[in-house]
Structure 1
Amino acid sequence: MADQTTDGFYTNLSCGALGIRPGFEAAVDLAIEFGFGAVEPDVGYLTSQSAEQVEALRSRLAEHGVKWGNAGLPVDLNADAATFASQLAALNDHAARLASYGIDRVGTWIRPMSNSLTYRRNFRRHAERIALVDEILAGAGVRFGLEYVGPKSFWSTELYPFVHTLAEARELIDAVGSPNVGLILDTFHWYTSGESAADIAELSAEEVVAVDLNDAPTGLERDQQQDGQRMLPGATGVIDVAGFVGALRKIGYVGPVKVEPFNAELRAMDPRDAVAKTAESLNAVL
């Protein structure tokens, strides 16, 4: 079983991130069975339930010491203007629902390249769009996390590279100018960006909204690593997960920690076995 909390961390079960689809009710059962401190919320499922059913579920989770992890953002920061405007218009009601369910963290990733926008134009557009999204989320009391994507094998595939390092992500967040916007840190992106525990130690705890722990396959150079091929944390030792976790402890991070390995072997497992193996890996590194 995974410890529900380790210092300020609480382990977060995201079946979607593991590539398994047991259904949300089964995911809740698995989170409780294997001692996770949080479960990633399925907002569509919650919306389909009555207020009484949602309250009963929240009570059950609280009884077992399980919180909500971070939810996804239903707005595409890279969409065309009309699509972005439409999604933004719907976000107010969505954010109100999140608040009513007690979900207080949302995240999305930053696409690290473009074939049409130079770095400066892309930076300006992202800063403007993130600020618009954040105004709504902050008004509902929901924190907004941004995840940079580090593999060179990904960001180098289009004409104009964009934000793909911790330093650049912090510059973008600083340009937005809202204390409600923070980072989603992933060991895989941290490793492929060539960063160190010292880079994490420079952060304040308040800058970090959520954390993903993964390892990398052996036999590849850093710049050869593929975003869609990862390992459970601690599986290979390619990534210094202990150093990453230690730095987060040093700054006093409090929040969810999940595994997102994009691993074919794990996806092929029975969901219960996959969750059991994930819990075991989190125990080992936390």
Structure 2
Amino acid sequence: MFSNLSAGALGLTLDHATAIDLAARHGFGGVDPDLEALRALGGADAVAEHAAAVHERGLEWGMGGLPIALDAPAAEFREQLMALPEALTLLRSAGVTRLGTWIRPMHEQLDHRQNWRLHLGRLSLVAEILADHGLRLGLEYIGPKTLWSTERFPFVHSLREMRELIAETGASNLGLILDSYHWYTAGETAEDLAGLTDADIISVDINDARADRERDEQMDLDRRLPYDTGVIDLPGFLGAVRAAGYTGPVKVEPFLAELAERPVDEVLTDIAARLERAVAVG
């Protein structure tokens, strides 16, 4: 595992060059790639040179965002699918190997079976294109009941369901984004993570939950920094991730607006220390 700076996950507005500089300065092991910044470099050769410079600073790539909305209207999805190979070529020129997205855990019109078929078909298409470019895709389930119960038909919102969806695609380059907040709000334990391997996990997010709310009262966008409250069993979660032999990025994703109001170096010193604890100890 390595600590990863994901500025967006922290609510920080940093351009790509600044994020790289800050990640290196604060001792992170990695930084998320930025597709638009790579496009601005002007071509595959320039992208490869940029990536080499990033690695020379001791940084690995974390996880990029999948530039496709899996639940988009059909015409929009087709357009995004047509544009995907160009984006993937750039990402591979940079040496990026991991992309990720989240699965919306409810729908107002599509029942579970209809939504399952939609995602199964689209994921199979996307996974095949990604495989042609040597890329893996992480899928994140969303655990809070306060979110998945807000529309008529709940959809995938647990580790078990996500693993079933991935398995049914038959794609070997699909895996999990494991988020301690969703793991906790889904009512899961370290035992639920037993048997996972490094090949099953694309990325890991850590955070804590509010101490003044019960599990089913927790809100998706109202979290706490890891180790702040102890509501989430981070040692158990990370111990299971470590037992899986996971070698990828670990980032903090708290959705705390107050972080953007503090000096950025102060924030990143704090975040780097929490990630160092997580990666080294759990």
Please classify the TM superposition score into its range, dividing by the shorter chain length.
over 0.9
| Cα distance in 2 for residues equivalent to 1:281 and 1:134 | 33
- State the superposition RMSD in angstroms: 1.2
Match of 2:162 among 133, 158, 169: 169
Farther off after superposition, 237-246 or 53-62: 53-62
Unpaired runs of 5+ in structure 2? none
| Partner SS state of residue 244, structure 1 | helix
Distance in 1 of aligned mates of 2:236 and 2:192: 11
Alpha-carbon contact 1:21-1:271 (below 8 Å) kept = no
Q: Distance in 1 between matches of 2:14 and 2:173?
A: 33
Secondary structure (helix, strand or coil) at the match of 1:220 reads: coil
Question: What corresponds to 1:62 in structure 2?
Answer: 55
Which of 79, 82, 93 lines up with 2:75 in the alignment? 82
Of the three residues 23, 37, 56, the one matched with 2:29 is 37
Q: Deviations over 1:95-139 (max 9, x none)?
A: 111111111100000000000000011011101001111111110
- Is the CA contact 1:20–1:267 (under 8 Å) kept in the aligned structure 2? yes
- 1:61 shift after superposition: 2.0
Q: Which of 73, 84, 95 lines up with 1:91 in the alignment? A: 84
Q: Which amino acid aligns with 1:258?
A: K
1:275 offset after TM fit, Å? 1.4
**Contact conserved, 1:12 with 1:40, CA < 8 A, in 2?**
yes
Distance change >3 Å, CA 165–CA 197, structure 1 → 2: same
After superposition, residues 15-164 of structure 1 pair within 5 angstroms as 15-51=7-43, 53-164=46-157
Match of 1:247 among 240, 250, 261: 240
CA positional deviation for 1:57: 3.0
**Partner-residue secondary structure (3-state), 1:191:** helix
On the 8 A contact 1:201/1:251 being kept in 2, the answer is yes
Alignment partner for residue 3 of structure 2, among 4, 11, 15?
A: 11
8 A contact 1:234–1:284 mirrored in 2: no
What code does the residue aligned with 2:35 have? V
Alignment check: 8 A CA contact 2:181 2:232 kept: yes
Q: Which residue matches 1:284?
A: 277
Q: Which residue of 2 aligns with 1:237?
A: 230
The residue type equivalent to 1:76 in the other structure is A
The one-letter amino acid paired with 2:21 is D
Unaligned runs of 5+ in 1: 1-8
What's the TM-score, normalizing by structure 1? 0.94
Q: Which amino acid aligns with 2:105?
A: P
1:261 correspondence with 2:247: no
For 1:123-181, what per-residue CA distance to the aligned partner results, in whole angstroms no more than 9, with x for missing partners?
11101001111111110001011000000000000000000000000010011111110
Code of the residue aligned with 1:58 in structure 2: it is A
Aligned equivalents of 2:111, 2:87: Cα separation in 1: 32
Mapped contact 2:48–2:93 kept (Cα < 8 A): no
Moved more, 196-205 or 222-231: 196-205
Question: What is the number of residues matched between the two proteins?
Answer: 278
Deviates more, 1:11-20 or 1:271-280: 271-280
Amino acid of the structure 2 residue aligned with 1:86: E
Residue 56 of structure 1 and its aligned partner are, at CA, apart by 4.1
SS in structure 2 at match of 1:65: coil
Give the Cα separation in 2 of the matches to 1:193 and 1:239.
12
Q: Cα distance 1:96–1:146, how it changes in 2: closer, same or farther (>3 A)?
A: same
| Sequence identity percentage | 49
Deviates more, 1:125-134 or 1:199-208: 199-208
Q: 2:172 aligns with which of 165, 173, 179?
A: 179
